[in-house]
A and B are shown apart, each in its own frame.
Chain A
Amino acid sequence: MTATTPSTATPFVRKDNASQRRLADAVATGLLWTAALGIVLLLAVFIGYLLYLGAHVISWHFLTAPPSEISAGGGIGPEIFNSFYILVLTLIFTVPVATAAGIYLQEYARPGLFNSTVQFCAESLATIPSIVMGLFGLIVFVQVLHWHFTALGGALALTLLNLPALMRVTQEGLASVPQALREGSMALGATKWQTIRRVVLPGSIAPLTTGIILIAGRIIGETAVLIYTAGVSVSPGRSAFNWNPFHPAETLSVHLWYTHSEGLVPDAVDIGNGSALVLLLIVLVFNISARILGRGLSRHFTGK
């Protein structure tokens, strides 16, 4: 891509010669490559370092045992359970509402006050800091409704926080379905809803699934919003694995923060190292499975 025309022909720089321009181009190219490879290297360092710190902590006992309040040797079993439990609850609320709102905005809504208000509110919701949403949850679920700290309250606060991302995923997924398919369906006499349900949604199932799993990977790492809604404790003893949505449910990411900043156990550093590694591994699994599943579904439903 080197310039072949004489340097006087460039309209951009007045005093200029070809070798200088080529040098600047080479330097810039080098810097951009460095920046890009730097990001990949950074991620590799993070993964390597967390493995180095945490690999020796992980054992069957650590992954399944309940946490300990004051003595060493506590595990993270209930925390892992709570992380997935709250994730499932959150998805049960988020997926139907977000896909429905996304479908409405993409397929039905016309430009106007309602549409732009929904967009503004969705963008604002997406920008609200996690900790602020946590305090909203504290006001509504703990102070007004007197639920105290509950898994359900945590899941509902997380739902509000993640609705916009999933709405966006839905809208992008629907937009990727060719308009001709909709027209074909409508021309055959299908109603708009029939078209969406039988033609558009199946056509966008692959990006939707990928998007939901990626968002799930983010939900499982949310922390600040859960401290004031789901709490920083698990029930003691066997009942630590608790299916009751009205029980306090400390998740793994909250546990990592809590043991570091408020915990009393002597092996807090080990627990932190182990928890950080487990969280990273969960995120990696979510990302990889999103990709594999997305590819498979895309092949199955659209043949691409």
Chain B
Amino acid sequence: MVGPVIATHSSRAHVQESIARGVLLAASAFVILAMAAIVVYLASEGLRLFFVDHISPLAFLGSAAFEPDSRSPGALAFIVGSLAVTFFAIVMGGPLGIAVGIFLSQLAPPRLGSIMKPAIEILVGIPSVVYGWLGLTLLAPLIRLHLGSQTGFGLLTAGIVLSIMILPTVISLSEDALKSVPVTIKEASMALGATRWQTIFHVLLPAARSGLTVALILGIARAIGEALAVQMVIGNSAVIPQGLLNPAATLTTEIVTDMGSAQQGSVLQHSLFSMAFLLLLIAMALITLVRWALKRSAL
């Protein structure tokens, strides 16, 4: 018998190994550094409204009077607007996206699946301004014509555009979630005489619950952060919207509307940075929620 082979690395290979390891480690550390820089810089600009201009956070979050020139930067109308369009987007796009996810993971003939995958990939790739342009030239006239809205711009138009924009996210994540359910569970259900739909509804959907939750949360994250497509069709009116067809504004659209003309150091500019910081906190909260949902399912 020969003893175990001892790999004899040349010392050069060893040096290369440690260099490579160091470089790769540095690249990963860069991700942490980048995120930390973003939080620090946005916080330092976003908190100026409260610490430099001495405006109470309550006046920012709880008031709908957005008049930064008279020191009243109430962002409530934008917060409500953001929540409203996100709500419509997820109510319309969520179920549809999950339905297509079910179709792709359970029903789709391979040939059709191989057409739909690239189609969804293209929907992801279409720039948000092009979605905005489609909303502007195709959807808004339809809503103006058929629903009696004056301009065609408003919450509903923005919600529909967003619901389409979040579809690819929801579809691909829910497809992955459903595919990761062990096939034996599905077979057991079918063997007990359940129809395909009974199996999907009573077995697969509950088993994939946490993955589907993640799909919806990331859909919400995409919707609440979208700026230009919404700005092009929502009508941009800084009031709490009274109805579906009324023009409104969101946190993101307000930044787009006023950032270009905001003077450095003004209350207006500080309040826009505060909105950006708020959006950052929302994004991080949603990611924490995603991690929590996944951890719970792993137990």
Q: B-contacting residues of A (Cβ < 8 Å)?
A: 1-7, 9-13, 21-22, 24-25, 28-29, 31-33, 35-36, 38-40, 42-43, 46, 49-50, 53, 96-98, 100-101, 103-105, 108-109, 114, 117-118, 120-125, 127-133, 135-136, 138-140, 143, 160, 163-164, 167, 186, 189, 191-194, 196-197, 214, 217-218, 220-224, 227-228, 232, 253-254, 256-257, 260-262, 272-273, 276, 279-280, 283-284, 286-287, 291
Contact = CB atoms under 8 A, between A and B. Distances in A.
Nearest to B14: A191
B59 interface: no
Contacts of B103: 32-33, 35-36
Interface stretch (B60-68, B237-245, B252-260): B252-260
A36 B133 contact: no
Most buried by A among B32, B37, B38, B125: B125
Given A35-B96, A163-B34, A286-B125, 12 more contacts: A21-B195, A25-B198, A40-B119, A100-B28, A104-B25, A123-B290, A125-B35, A131-B256, A221-B127, A223-B127, A256-B129, A260-B136
A40 B5 CA distance: 58
B31 A279 contact: no
17 contacts: A7-B193, A24-B195, A29-B107, A36-B100, A98-B27, A109-B28, A125-B34, A131-B255, A132-B283, A139-B41, A163-B34, A223-B127, A253-B129, A254-B129, A273-B133, A279-B127, A284-B122
Contacts, number: 286
Size class of the contact patch on chain B: 35 or more
Interface in B113-137: 115-116, 118-130, 132-134, 136-137
Nearest to B102: A32
A131 B31 contact: no
A33 B196 CA distance: 14
Nearest to B136: A260
Contact of A39 (B28, B116, B260, B291): B116
B34 A121 contact: yes
A287 B117 CA distance: 11
Determine chain A's interface SS by DSSP, over half rule.
helix
Interface stretch (B16-24, B50-58, B144-152): B16-24
B138 interface: yes
A228 B259 contact: yes
